[in-house]
Structure 1
Amino acid sequence: MLAAMPPPVPSPTPAPGAPRVRERGDACPGALRLHSADDGHLARLRLPAGRLTARQVEVLADAAEALGDGRISVTSRGNAELRGLADGCGAELAPLLAEAGLLPSPTHERVRNIVASPASGLDGLGAADVQLWARELDERLCAAPWAAGLSGRFLFVLDDGRGDVTGLGGDVTLVAVAPDAAHLHMGGRAVRVAAADAPRAALAAARAFLSAARAAGTGAWRVRELPEGHQADVRDVRKALAAEEVPEAVLPQGPPPAPGPLGPAALHVLAPLGRLTAGRLRALLPADEVRLTPWRGAVVAGTDPARLPALEAHGLITRPDSPWAGVSACTGRPGCAKSLADVRADAVPGRPGLPVHYSGCERRCGHPHGDWVDVLAAPGGGYLVDGAPVPRTDLAPAVTTARTAPRTTR
């Protein structure tokens, strides 16, 4: 049964140099534990590797229309959010999700945070198809009773070697370095494991984190929150899997796939401001599968890239030179009581360049990783663009300058 969450109570801010102490579990919403917002309840569906079957696409679109506000928000982890849900919708939503395979484990549904290179196996790039790793890891995760103790913020990142998702701040990161080998990174250390062992190694690393967190007694949600002297040790994984430590392993860094074709039978599109209407989601079909991405878009596998003009006509972003590519925003008003502005209505793209994110308050919910332009609503109706005050009417030139000027000059 779905339940609304009470407003989160933040843990006290630690003194400089002191470890953060988490006095309670995280308040991340899920598919069964909803968040109450000004526009109704919010459900967050974890989609390992962002994957949706064609049937699940239809179910998600139907649920958005029948129970929510008719839209699906794509998160910075490639998950999906339904907003505007009414009180008492659990009798319909939970069975609907379960029947479609979107709720395989009620006890583990909030910890299925797995991001994988979305174009893996489709465009001929990458050292291995990490989408297959993601499916095995999800199965192992849901089958391990102890894994339900992970935070809803703990993140597994699976990169096929191109470096498109390594910068997303994974707690446990797997990188394919050859068709038969991977590097497992956690807490600044790395070990080399056989590709066949990669999902099992990632789960073992998560268990090592939980052991370290219990020993520290600080209630850490993420690996980076572990205090000095209580780091999670990948050497435990090395012993269990006969893995070899890699002292100087470096995470590869690469760009995300550009909107457009991905090989002969796949394509990549972006959702305007990170939200898909139910109609736009359905427009991605027919397809073998749809993979929501951390860049708030979708990779459509098993389809003809010649469909791109038709998808553009539906309002999706299909070209890398679109000024709206890389533009995102938080919920803003009227959905969020903390927001100072209707940031989605105020958002302007400027010219293509760095990613830009519009935030209604200093929490900056959903901001991208890496280098990005920060547009923050300010009291009185204006904005701060990378910290500089800008009237709302002057946002377009200010955002263009911020997106296109060398970072060293700002």
Structure 2
Amino acid sequence: MLAAVSTARPSSSPLATPALRDRGDACPGTLRLHAADDGALARVRVPGGVLSVRQARVLADAALRLGDGELHLTSRGNVQLRGLQEECGGELAGLLDAAGLLPSPGHERVRNIVASPLSGLDGSGERDVRSWLSALDAALCASEAARGLSGRFLFALDDGRGDVSSLGADVTVRATADGGALLGLGSAREVLRVAGDDAPQAALLAAEAFLEFAGRAGERVWRIEELGACSAELRTDVRRRLAESAIDCSLDRGDGATTGGPPPGVVGTALSVHAPLGRLTTAQWQELADVAPLELRLTPWRGIVVPTPGTTGPGRGSALSRLAATGLVTDDSSPWLGVGACIGRPGCGKSRADVRADAARTLATASRSRLPLYWSGCERRCGRPGGDHVDVVAAPEGVYRLAGPEVAGQPRTTEVSDLTHLATALAAITS
């Protein structure tokens, strides 16, 4: 699967374009749909990626009746429905509300929370973060100020194993062995140590402090990294807010050790599968719901974890075989685990190529790359991961431009006009 992002601030790619701030935050949600070339698009926030089986079935029904019949996983463990019919917004909102997926309409686009998907399931990590997730989501929905957050602002709740703390979130809470937590802002190495019980409230206060700080600066910034050198001043503001709320904190140094996402297969008391390019048919989704006793956990690596408490080893093996038969990845040697892509043509009018089809065609002939690959139809590179990876970007001239990690301060780039030459180009970039 796509590799975890390093805790260091990711370097800019020569294929990137700067973020525009000449209009309001246009990040889609479920109450404000986005008009795409293949129909309307809805992005359903799923805090921590946790869906009950009933909620999962509601999403499948919505995709089948109102959309293109597929469910698309995002790099934040959310779900996108595409190809939605005109004027279906009210019906979709009603379905989601009845299923408990729309607890606060005013906050629906800001409930961006990723959490360690294997927390409490495999014996790793320092604590089960489910209580943090419930508390943070409730506090977020109760905060009037939090409605002002951008739809891009991200919280991460890490159980101590270092998986989601590496995803470049704006506010990261990481459990520690002594029962405490480290509160991180953006990619800064300096963190604030707080008591574990205070962690969810501290995370919300940090987000509210960011909104106040950005407002005083008079600039339209949506993410903490955009503050640059001013992030140190924000940390001072956060410490003040914590003190005013009687939350003790101290300055500490973050742990840079990270792990990737869950490998496919049986992991602890759960099943883990990967959806190629993050796309699932309703048949695949329904099979997941059928084998899940209680819930699904969507991962930021476009995978799904199915907790199976009380299920025997043979039972888990049988369930995994059922999922593999639908085309979901259950083998950790699959080359699909290192490949991601934006929607491309025909869904996006800005895309210069059908990048998903090209990625699949290339995967059939090329050996697995040492680094993850992310295919983009244009320089915006929507949904791309952070950390070391190779950007494969469609260019106007009918070629693909490849850019790998920097060496000696210089990015490695090349162009290919024939996909059969991609393996050779990748070998040169990743060596």
Q: How does 1:24-39 map to 2 (within 5 A)?
A: 24-39=23-38
1:296 and 2:302 are equivalent in the alignment: yes
Task: Give a deviation string over 1:320-375, Cα, whole Å, max 9, x none.
Answer: 10111121111111111111111111112333342211111111111112111211
d(CA) in 2 for partners of 1:398, 1:305: 40
Could you list the runs of 5+ residues in structure 1 that have no partner in the other structure? 1-19
Of stretches 240-249 and 280-289 in structure 1, the one that deviates more from structure 2 is: 240-249
Match for residue 342 of structure 2 among 314, 325, 330? 330
Partner Cα separation in structure 2 for residue 238 and residue 29 of structure 1: 32
Name the SS for the 2:42 alignment partner.
strand
**Any idea what the Cα deviations from partners look like across 1:100-151, whole Å, max 9, x if unmatched?**
1111111000000000111111111000111321121001100111111111
Is the contact between residue 291 and residue 300 of structure 1 (CA under 8 Å) also seen in structure 2? yes
Instruction: Please report how far the alpha carbon of residue 21 of structure 1 lies from its aligned counterpart in structure 2 after TM superposition.
Output: 9.0
In the superposition, the TM-score normalised over structure 1's length comes to 0.89
Equivalences for 1:4-403 in 2 at 5 Å? 22-178=21-177, 180-187=179-186, 188=188, 189-226=190-227, 228-229=229-230, 231-233=233-235, 234-239=238-243, 240-263=245-268, 265-285=269-289, 286-287=291-292, 288-302=294-308, 304-306=315-317, 307-347=319-359, 348-349=362-363, 350-352=366-368, 353-386=370-403, 387-394=413-420, 397-398=423-424, 401=427
Who is 1:7 aligned against? Answer: none
Distance in 2, matches of 1:373 and 1:289, equals 34
Distance of aligned partners of 1:156 and 1:313 in 2 relative to their CA distance in 1, 3 Å threshold: same
CA distance 1:397–1:37, change in 2 (3 Å): same
> 1:332, 1:342 within 8 Å by CA — same for their partners in 2?
yes
Three-state SS of the structure 1 residue aligned to 2:296 is strand
Q: Quick one: distance in 2 between partners of 1:153 and 1:341?
A: 26
Distance 1:113 1:395 in 2: 39
Q: Kindly state the Cα deviation for residue 258 of structure 1 after the two structures are TM-superposed.
A: 1.0
- If asked which structure has higher relative contact order (CA below 8 Å, sep 6+), I would say 2
Change (3 A) 1:59 1:323: same
Q: How big is each residue's C-alpha offset from its partner over 1:378-410, in whole Å with a ceiling of 9 and x where there is no partner?
A: 2343312333111333155247636xx7x4x3x
Distance apart, 1:179 and its partner CA? 5.7
Counterpart residue identity of residue 260, structure 2? P
* Contact 1:212–1:226, Cα closer than 8 Å, also in 2: no
Number of residues paired by the alignment? 386
* Separation in structure 2 between the aligned mates of residue 371 and residue 217 of structure 1, nearest angstrom: 33
Larger deviation, residues 390-399 vs 290-299: 390-399
Q: CA deviation at 1:82?
A: 0.4
What does the per-residue CA deviation read over 1:242-300, in whole Å, with 9 as the maximum and x for residues that have no partner? 4232332334312222111111x311111011111111111112311101111111111
Provide the residue aligned with 2:5 in structure 1: none
Question: Alignment partner of 1:394: what SS?
Answer: helix
What is the CA–CA distance in structure 1 between the aligned matches of 2:227 and 2:88, rounded to whole Å? 38
Counterpart amino acid of residue 278 in structure 2: G
Q: Give the SS at the match of 1:224.
A: helix
What's the TM-score, normalizing by structure 2?
0.85
2:414–2:425 CA contact under 8 A, matched in 1: no
The whole-number CA distance in structure 1 between the counterparts of 2:230 and 2:384 is 31
- CA distance in structure 1 between the aligned counterparts of 2:159 and 2:303, rounded to whole angstroms: 19
Contact 1:385 1:398 in 2 (8 A): no
Match of 2:13 in 1: none
Percent of pairs with identical residues: 55
Contact 1:49 1:114 in 2 (8 A): yes
Q: 2:32 & 2:130 partners in 1: Cα distance?
A: 27
CA distance in 2, matches of 1:24, 1:178: 44
Q: SS of the counterpart of 2:193?
A: strand
Q: For residues 229 and 385 of structure 2, what CA distance do their matches in structure 1 show?
A: 28
Secondary structure of 2:220's match? coil
Gaps of 5+ in 2: 1-18, 404-412
Amino acid at match of 1:266: A
For residues 41 and 122 of structure 1, what CA distance do their matches in structure 2 show?
37
Q: Partners in 1 of 2:178 and 2:275 — Cα distance?
A: 32
CA distance in 2, matches of 1:282, 1:38: 27
